[in-house]
Structure 1
Amino acid sequence: MIAIRNQDETSKPWVDGLTIGQVLTETARRHPNHDAFVFCDPPHRMTWSELDDAVTHCARGLLALGFRPGDHFGVWATNVPQWVLLQFATARIGVVLVNINPSYRADELKYALQQSEVRGIALIDHHKSTHFWELLEKACPDLATASPGALESADFPKLKWVVGLRGDPHRYAMMWDDFLKRAETVPAANVAEISETLRCTDAINIQYTSGTTGHPKGATLSHRNVLLNAFYAGQSQRLGPQDRIALPVPLYHCFGCVLGTLCCLVHGAAMVFPSECFSAGATLDAIEKERCTALYGVPTMFIAQLEHPSYAGRDLASLRTGIMAGSPCPIELMKRVTADMGASEMTIGYGQTEASPLITQTRTDDPIELRVGTVGRPLPGFEAKIVDPITNQKLEDGQQGEFCGRGHGVMLGYYNMPDKTAAVIDDEGWLHTGDLGMRQSNGYFRITGRLHDMIIRGGENIYPREIEERLYQHPAVEDVQVVGVPDRRFGEAVLAWVKPKAGCEVTEDELREFCSESLARYKVPYYWKFVDQFPTTVTGKIQKYKIRETAIEELGLQAIAKIETA
């Protein structure tokens, strides 16, 4: 039995030194009959005791297929119960889970499977217009002549097993029910024996970062990386076994499988999954029906719920806290979430996959102006600083530069990419995020943009976040994204894509005048476009590079874009 004590920010977390499997065993012992997870559509729920047993059974299945500690196993699926089972089962026997983005097309899938060197992959059949089996077969044509466990492919020398989580059987795959039957051939004692050999510093997860250029990089994380992040993220929200977290965020992303599943695991809270992929209506339904006390999401998800036609009649009185993160959080939006939505203790988190993921977070007892206007202070065990992007010298409070973090969450490295790892983690262990920020004199941080998002107009540095924050204050603006586009005279010009609120009308001239009231003339957008939606990743992150690409095409700036600069 593991000794449990009350925690504060200065004491050692009870999970430190343990593996994910050990933490699951302890949480199931402490809260056996509490809900562990609830999937709303289709309905499926398990208590912590049931989840512990199901995970052991699933781990036995992996052992039956020949998986051993250090092997890699990919999961390519939306938010389904098997995702959670496999996350915990792989961790229990030291198999490295590889998270695969469900929006990947065939070429992206092929790259991820090859680069991560998976020995097995589990997948769903389809979701909406994506047919996973077809894409897998396109990525690996050799499956056409394979049988379960016997794939021979020059392109995928390590890949042997394909496990179908649902749908019709395929000749080269083992379906989920058969996988669970195979587990009966392995004693549960074998799982326990392997679990005892694992260390908390072992690699347990590879998560691919969604960069805007080049191939994704697989951030490799340890048990300790993710468990400490989950512990402190939950502590910042004052989470306990009485809490129920609505999780519309994807499991393949750190937001879902660290701040979501593992945060619940560590604190004994219930995970509530409204739907396979984000749906504003389904999320509101889940909060009401399951009496969720916490809600997670990126800003676009919160906006979609606030603007949903049924929002006004919803009973969201159970909401107390949660995390808004994943992309810059507009101050005006945070005010609406804490006041109108009722999540008065909502927190903002900042970090990235390479940090497991949070580096800073606001706390529930922070003054409201800090909770809506900053990304908080570093988690215990983390350091943060702002440096000059050119000289790498530490900057004083109030000065803008690159945000760097150091501590327990910094990844082990990018899988099989030592040069890429060295480019972001320096010799002193500081992770260079590529984000711009500043430290306030009270120790709280603000994120002001991306290094590469910065617009340079005629020698003037312009940070899109400042312009966006101003436009969010306009009563007719629901969402806005600002980017730089090529300009022959100034190098770059400012472009704003604006999504008006439903039923509201606003003109370019009105918004230009509104900006001019508080922004320097050179910061006021030159180009404007009114849109219904923005290009996003599956996690809801807005892809500014696609906005820029579309604008270059629509504005006829291709020739200017090709002009080389020093």
Structure 2
Amino acid sequence: MDEQTVELSYARGEDSPPLLTEPIGATLARTTESFPDNLALVDAPTDRTWTYREFRADVLALAAGLLRLGVGKGDRVGLWAPNRPEWVVTQYATAEIGAILVNLNPAYRQNELDYALTQSGTSVVLAAKRYKDSDYKGMLDAARPSAPELREVICFETPAWQELVAQPSNDELSAVAERAATLEPHDPINIQYTSGTTGFPKGATLTHSNISNNGYLVGELLAYTDADRIAIPVPFYHCFGMVMGNLAATSHGAAMVIPSPTFDPEAALRAVAEYRCTSLYGVPTMFIAELALLDHSEPGQFDLSSLRTGIMAGSPCPEHVMRQVVDRMHMGEVSICYGMTETSPVSCQTRVDDPLELRVGTVGRVGPHLEIKVVDPISGETLPRGETGEFCTRGYSVMSGYWNEPVKTAEALDADGWMHTGDLAVMDAGSGASGSNVTDAGSGAGYVRITGRIKDMVIRGGENIYPREIEEFLYTHPDILDAQVIGVPDERYGEELMAWIQLRDGVADLTADDVREFATGKIARHKIPRYVHVVKEFPMTVTGKVRKVAMREESVDLLGLS
């Protein structure tokens, strides 16, 4: 089929602005030269601040310390901590000398830690001693027998850490510069372990070019300048925090603001108010928590008038939540981003001037310098616009592969360089084929709707049912705060629908009969959930994504279906 004459689900992004063609350290150096006295980093819990000059000095000091430890180009350096200033400094210090940063999930338990350290061949770990009920130092000591390449563990706020970040000599700074001069944009710089739903997680291997450009271009589409201050309550260990947050900031001379080590709605809103942040990040559940806090706060307790924009990502956003974020939190230019770790992460993004209906109903359009398409999951053929299929993307953002996993890499990346995401999507009808202009807003510009995961699709009596559609309907119930729909085994239909529901404050209960009565005549009968389970919270990953696999497993036991 001719993509020029047949309206296929394919779109290519703009060719501007130009891609960055330098390592991350070079970008930070340019920003520091341009904005030496701009605010670079804020740690709200301690009220400590860094200018770009001060921040880069700390980065170079740690880079010199890592060279003293014998860290070579391509060596893996693990980082295990919640959000704190040392995390950000380490991110840029490892990039400065070409070490590969291994992001360790703060929620890891012993088996997960052992696997990540061993699979990546990590030789040095920088870590917090502990956080909440996690004894990081103790678990790292216990990991040594199963991680033979691990030779050095240094915890923050210890004499060893102070020695590591001590003021470097001129010769040591020269050694850092010499190492930096050997780096190439396509060198691997980061391993991020995907949250595995089956088996062990896979280590997506990302380059300077992957993540530096993704952060830069996300910031461009948010119209960031050196006057912006970005509140980042999302985890640094994930792309949302370290790429869309940190790298977007440092490529524009903007400030990174850490509200708290892990998400706390009051800390996030307080940081916005105290530091006059212009941008706030979060997954939908975070914004829901912040809005609930505003409901119970004194008028004017949190002055959010400085906010202009922000990012909502990680999972689909309920329409009513987006509208409240715009109206009540002053985020008139809030953007929806869609992507995955393997694509650095953003593939699609709404623009700040997109009409609100497109920002609540879609994940926007293809990003600059990228291609996207929607294909038949079985045949691989590109589908006509308006049909549901698998979302695929190609371009600068696609990972180099899964670390030491050639078979799994080949399963995700095809021979033509397309990343097969496993997500179900629909591309709006209209122009967007190769060579077309996808910058004009409107339904014909290739806006994408993510309808779910291929593995989350429920097949009931031969009918394909997309949980996202039912969740959106359930949001219209006055007593429902949030809803997640899954499929559970059923002898007659193969699968049956079950809704996990969070209720609004003051609502005592909601039964399956109540939901059935509300839904009858409004949605097709086969889309009405048979089972309803009321919960206080959903099982979540540390990045705020709902763990539907865990929900299905628990539901099978709950319903006695095992």
**Residue 183 of structure 1: CA displacement?**
4.7
2:21 maps to 1:17? yes
Counting only pairs closer than 5 Å after superposition, residues 340-359 of structure 1 correspond to structure 2 as 340-359=328-347
2:35 maps to 1:31? yes
Selected match of 2:114 from 106, 110, 113: 110
Counting only pairs closer than 5 Å after superposition, residues 25-174 of structure 1 correspond to structure 2 as 25-140=29-144, 142=145, 155-166=146-157
Q: Hey, what does 2:438 align to over in structure 1?
A: none
2:351 maps to 1:360? no
Distance 1:557 1:184 in 2: 66
TM-score (norm 2): 0.92
SS, match of residue 383 in structure 1: strand
Question: Deviation string for 1:371-396 (max 9, x for gaps)?
Answer: 11100000011111111111111111
Q: Hey, what does 1:243 align to over in structure 2?
A: 228
Distance 1:182 1:108 in 2: 35
Q: Hey, what does 1:490 align to over in structure 2?
A: 493
Distance 2:225 2:298 in 1: 27
Selected match of 2:256 from 255, 271, 294: 271
2:366 maps to 1:381? no
RMSD: 1.5
Distance 2:201 2:171 in 1: 36
Is the Cα contact below 8 Å between 2:486 and 2:497 reproduced in 1?
yes
Counting only pairs closer than 5 Å after superposition, residues 89-488 of structure 1 correspond to structure 2 as 89-140=93-144, 142=145, 155-166=146-157, 175-181=160-166, 183-184=168-169, 187-308=172-293, 309-310=296-297, 313=300, 314-441=302-429, 442=444, 443-488=446-491
The AA in structure 2 aligned to 1:249 is V
Is the Cα contact below 8 Å between 2:229 and 2:277 reproduced in 1?
yes
Distance 2:297 2:170 in 1: 51
Is the Cα contact below 8 Å between 1:60 and 1:186 reproduced in 2?
no
Change (3 A) 1:40 1:361: same
Distance 1:502 1:469 in 2: 20
**Residue 515 of structure 1: CA displacement?**
2.5
Distance 2:167 2:127 in 1: 18
**Residue 531 of structure 1: CA displacement?**
1.1
Is the Cα contact below 8 Å between 1:437 and 1:447 reproduced in 2?
yes
| Structure with more contact order per residue of length (Cα contacts < 8 Å, sep ≥ 6) | 2
The AA in structure 2 aligned to 1:298 is V
Distance 1:84 1:312 in 2: 34
Question: Deviation string for 1:466-524 (max 9, x for gaps)?
Answer: 00011112222111111011111111110001101112355323332333343110010
Gaps of 5+ in 2: 1-12, 430-443
Counting only pairs closer than 5 Å after superposition, residues 551-562 of structure 1 correspond to structure 2 as 551-558=555-562
Distance 1:360 1:44 in 2: 35
Moved more, 330-339 or 411-420: 330-339
SS, match of residue 126 in structure 1: coil
Is the Cα contact below 8 Å between 1:476 and 1:505 reproduced in 2?
no
SS, match of residue 505 in structure 2: coil
Change (3 A) 1:531 1:192: same
TM-score (norm 1): 0.91
**Residue 412 of structure 1: CA displacement?**
0.5
Is the Cα contact below 8 Å between 1:41 and 1:275 reproduced in 2?
yes
Distance 2:280 2:166 in 1: 36
Question: Deviation string for 1:176-225 (max 9, x for gaps)?
Answer: 11212385595211111111111111101111100211101000011111
The structure 1 segments of at least 4 consecutive aligned residues displaced by more than 6 Å after TM superposition are none
**Residue 42 of structure 1: CA displacement?**
2.4
Distance 1:474 1:339 in 2: 21
SS, match of residue 373 in structure 2: strand
SS, match of residue 336 in structure 2: strand
Is the Cα contact below 8 Å between 1:305 and 1:311 reproduced in 2?
no
Distance 2:69 2:188 in 1: 21
Distance 2:275 2:167 in 1: 35
Is the Cα contact below 8 Å between 1:467 and 1:523 reproduced in 2?
yes
2:519 maps to 1:515? yes
